[in-house]
Amino acid sequence: MDWRRTRIKDLFQMEPGSKVSAYGWVKTKRGSKAVSFVQLNDGSCFADLQIVVDAGSVSEEEMKKVTTGACVRFDGELVESPGKGQAVELKGEALEVYGEADPDHYPLQKKGASFEFLRDIAHLRVRGNTFGAVSRVRHRAAWATHKFFEERCFDWIHTPIITASDCEGAGQMFAVSTLLEPDEEGRLHLKDSDSQKDFFGKPAFLTVSGQLNVETHALGLTNVYTFGPTFRAEDSHTSRHLAEFWMIEPEMAFCDIEGNMNLAEEFTKYVIQDVMDARADDLEFFNKRVEPKLLETLEHVATSDFERITYTEAVNLLKASDEKFEYPVEWGTDLQSEHERWLTETKIGRPTIVTDYPKEIKAFYMSQNTDGKTVRAMDVLVPRIGELIGGSQREERLDVLEARIDELGLPKEAYWWYLDLRRFGSAPHAGFGLGFERLIMYLTGMKNIRDVIPFHRAAGQAEF
């Protein structure tokens, strides 16, 4: 055996008459004494390969082991398939069972199971239709991300997971410490509260964003991006929050808010179109089974020119509407999903980039406008979910940045190196952040963020 073996997606492209081997996991088996039909999938594509086994072709004892969930290899000849939706099927002539699956205990049966139940068997759910498709779309979107930035001469920077700085100033961070010891009952507690005695000699945390670190490389390499895991200690049980998730964060020197918007629009369209082209079969499944009109929405976003309006214009449009919103709209408050969706779906009818938000609702590092009230921030809003991307032009003026840090009461000493970027060769620069799982939800139509990451981490949930 070798990893170079022919996979099921390749078998579908081969001519009838070819002698082949098909490896995979059994989805179902049915039939009679005369013939058995086995649906086999190896994760390489959405479609299952049908194996037709005539009685006597392989050992009856071995065929008894071919149950849902079993891992097998069938050898045989590809023949034309009389069934709909597939050009070929495999006439099984030999069988090897690599791993049996007790049909009385295998939890992933043909009958439907709730997504909540499937989260409890995340180690097995990828073998099913939905999560196999999610995984393939996730892979393709990640590949398209790297391809997009490589084609535009961006360097991929691996920013640290452990940090001493809070990028967002939100304080919802996971502490990292070696000053823990178990008590007699096995519960961990701090053996010393002096952080100077800890591993790093100071408080350390899991990063909430790679942005501050990747800015350092933008101011030396010009165009860079980071793509990796980030962490938020939010005790949230909504369908939109995770404690561990992945972020795509490009950063560009010699770039302002206009250039930032241009890149965000170009990136969004590129990834959506790439996934639509490469994973059409998986998206068709989601379109039929998960989110009606998914393909129509994705096509609309991929081919539209994004509208651009200011936050003030957005608030005025919302206040002038006859829509009854759950959350009131006032200048100075953040827009909610219902407001963002109304703008993109009802009022404007296409993806929209909102700029120049009040500084009080945005992070300290965003470049301030001359009005003293707003910052050069932007949010990319798309139909069906609202905000997809958030970003800004960064504040390159040392005095303005220091004043903002002081105003918010942040520990300036923690940002000494970040401030150095403004002391030594500062330059206009900009960037944005995109939660990768939010993007996968948009591409698939899946409703819960826990279902678009292989192993979800949330409050009280850290299995696997």
* Long-range contacts at 17-22 (CB < 8 A, ≥ 24 apart): 17/77, 17/78, 17/79, 18/77, 18/78, 19/75, 19/76, 19/77, 20/75, 20/76, 20/77, 20/78, 20/90, 21/73, 21/74, 21/75, 22/49, 22/51, 22/73, 22/74, 22/75, 22/76, 22/90
- Where along the chain do its domains lie? 8-106, 127-172+211-451, 174-207
For 89-93, 188-192, 328-332, which range has the lowest pLDDT when averaged over its residues? Answer: 188-192
CATH number assigned to the domain with residue range 8-106, chosen from the 4 options 2.40.50.140, 2.40.110.10, 2.40.30.10, 2.30.29.30: 2.40.50.140
Residue 186's pLDDT is 76
Evaluate whether 242 touches 458 at the Cβ level (below 8 Å). Answer: yes
Q: Give pLDDT tens digits for 432-459.
A: 999 999 999 999 999 999 999 999 998 8
Paired strand residues for 431: 251, 392
For the ranges 78-92, 220-234, 279-293, 300-314, which has the lowest average pLDDT? 78-92
The two tokens of residue 404 are 């903002």
In single-letter form, the type of residue at position 114 comes to: S
* Percent of the chain's residues with pLDDT above 70: 98
Q: Are 214 and 391 in contact (CB under 8 A)?
A: no
- Map residue 221 onto helix, strand or coil: helix
Structure pTM? 0.94
267 Cα distance to chain centroid:
15
Work out the pLDDT band at 168, boundaries 50, 70, 90: low
239 close to 452: Cβ distance less than 8 angstroms = no
CATH of domain 127-172+211-451: 3.30.930.10
The mean per-residue pLDDT over the stretch 1-15 comes to 91
In the predicted structure, residue 83 carries a pLDDT above the cut 70: yes
